[in-house]
């Protein structure tokens, strides 16, 4: 080999690094000027009410506004044919799960007649 073809240590290192980088794929994703993730749009979610004590109550709905309010939600189970109501309180954590599609079964508070109903969100 002649000395005209020899590389210096520095040239060899630079050429080696460039050869390795030539095989690396660089992927750039995303666009826009905001690095924060986009929150999913809140939508109403309806829960079904179980039968108990020979009756049921109509389904209940958590509205999109209630999901985004950041507060606990109290649902009232009422029925025009019965003379009583029940309540179900959903915490912020439970609301987050329901809003994200997590299955939740939550019992109501027992009323004066001593029975409860379960509200189910799928």
Q: Name the one residue in this structure whose structure tokens are 């109290």.
A: 74
Structural contact between residues 104 and 46, judged by C-beta atoms closer than 8 angstroms: no
**Six-digit token pair at 64?**
């999109």
Q: Name the one residue in this structure whose structure tokens are 């210096």.
A: 8
pLDDT of residue 78: 84
Instruction: List the domain boundaries for the chain.
Output: 45-121
pLDDT, tens digit, 9 for 90 and up, residues 73-109: 999 888 776 678 889 999 999 998 998 899 999 999 8
pLDDT of residue 24: 65
pLDDT of residue 36: 60
**What number is the average pLDDT over the span 102-121?**
88
């Amino acid at each position: 080999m002649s000395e005209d073809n020899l590389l210096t240590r520095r040239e060899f290192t630079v050429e080696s690094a460039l050869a390795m980088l030539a095989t690396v794929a660089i992927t750039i994703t995303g666009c826009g000027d905001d690095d924060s993730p986009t929150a999913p749009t809140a939508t109403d979610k309806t829960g079904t009410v179980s039968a108990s004590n020979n009756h049921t109550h109509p389904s209940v709905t958590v509205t999109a506004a209630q999901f985004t309010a950041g507060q606990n939600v109290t649902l009232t189970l009422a029925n025009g044919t019965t003379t009583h109501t029940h309540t179900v309180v959903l915490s912020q954590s439970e609301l987050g799960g329901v809003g994200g599609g997590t299955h939740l079964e939550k019992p109501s508070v027992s009323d004066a007649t001593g029975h409860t109903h379960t509200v189910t969100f799928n």
